[in-house]
Amino acid sequence: MSQIRIAVLVSGRGSNLQTLIDSIKENEINGKIEIVISSKEDAYALERAKKNDIESIYIGENNYPDEEKRTNKIIDILKEKEVELVVLAGYMSILDAKLVDNFRNRIINIHPSLIPSFCGKGFYGQRVHKAVLDYGAKLTGATVHFVDEGTDTGPIILQRAVDVDFEDTIETLSKKVLEIEHKLLPLAVKLYCEGRLEVVERKVKIKD
Ligand code: GRF
C-alpha cells in the first residue's frame, strides 16, 4: 500500500505536528507529510517543519486578507500536492465549507475535550480547560474526529478520558490532556492511513 499524502494545518507550537513527524519517522504511520500550512506567520510549528525538511507555508490574514482567496489558495495547494488526508493539529481558523466539501471525511481534527462536552464555537485552546474547571466536571479528555461543516460536530474517530482532580489548574489539566492528544492523534492518522476507518452515517467503524 502506498504512503498516504498528508497535509498538516497548524497555528501554534505544533506539539501534535511533532508527534506525527516522530511516528512517521518510526514507521508507525504509513504516510508522508507533504506540506505544513500555518494560519500564523510566527507559529513554532513552522520551525518544526523546517527542522524536519518538510515544506511549509504561511497562509493567513496578512498575505491573504480575503477569506475566499485564502480558502482557494489552501485548496489549490492541497490539490497540487495531491493530498489525501488533511490533519488539523491546533489549527485556530474555522475551515470554509468549500474546503470541507472538497475533502469530505478526509479532514481530521483534534479537540482537547470529550465531544460533545466543552466544544463548539468559542471553545478552543485554554478556554476549553477553563470551562471544564469552572463547571466542576470530574472527567475530560481528548477527541479526534472528522471535520464537517459544523464546529466540532463531525463523526468521532477516537476519544480518551482523563480525570479532573480538585487541585487541577488550567496548566495541569492542559498538560494531562495534551499527553492524551499525543497518543490519540498519531493513532487516528495511523488507522486512516491503513484504510481502517469507515464512516457509517455519523459513526466511525474501526475495521480490524
Ligand atoms: C491542542 O490542545 C489541540 O487539541 C488544540 O490546540 C492545541 C494545539 O497544540 N486544538 P499544539 O500546537 O499541537 O502543541
Q: Give the pLDDT confidence of 99-130 residue by residue, as tens digits.
A: 999 999 999 999 999 999 999 999 999 999 99
The reply to whether omega before 116 is within 30° of 0 (cis) is: yes
Is the distance from CB of 60 to CB of 70 less than 8 angstroms?
A: yes
CA-closest residue to ligand 1 atom 3: 90
pLDDT tens for residues 127-140? 999 999 999 999 99
* Whether 195 contacts 147, CB under 8 Å: no
pLDDT greater than 90 at residue 94: no
Q: Is pLDDT of 85 > 90?
A: yes
Query: How many alpha carbons fall within 13 Å on the CB side of residue 141?
Result: 17
Catalytic residue among 111, 129, 145, 182: 111
| 36 in Cβ contact with 46 (< 8 Å) | yes
Q: How far is the CA of 102 from the centre of ligand 1 (A)?
A: 24
Mean pLDDT on 69-78: 97
Does 15 sit in the ligand 1 pocket, CB within 6 Å? yes
Q: What pLDDT is attached to residue 43? A: 98
Mean pLDDT of 5-28: 98
* Closest ligand 1 atom number to CA of residue 12: 12
- Asked whether the predicted pLDDT for residue 1 surpasses 90, the reply is no
Instruction: Return d(Cα 177, Cα 90) in angstroms, integer.
Output: 13
Average pLDDT over residues 44-73: 97
The mean pLDDT value for 192-208 works out to 97
Pocket test for ligand 1, best of 181, 183, 185, 189 (most atoms within 8 A of CB): 181
Which ligand 1 atom minimizes the distance to the CA of 111? Answer: 4
- pLDDT tens-digit map of 173-194: 999 999 999 999 999 999 999 9
Ligand 1: atom nearest CA of 109 is 10
- Please give the torsion angle defined by the CA atoms of residues 139, 115, 124 and 40, in that order, rounded to the nearest 10 degrees: 130
Tell me, what DSSP letter sits at residue 157? E
Polymer length in residues for the chain: 208
Residue 22 grid coordinates: 516522530
Mean pLDDT score of the chain? 97
The answer to whether residue 159 scores a pLDDT higher than 90 is yes
111 is catalytic: yes
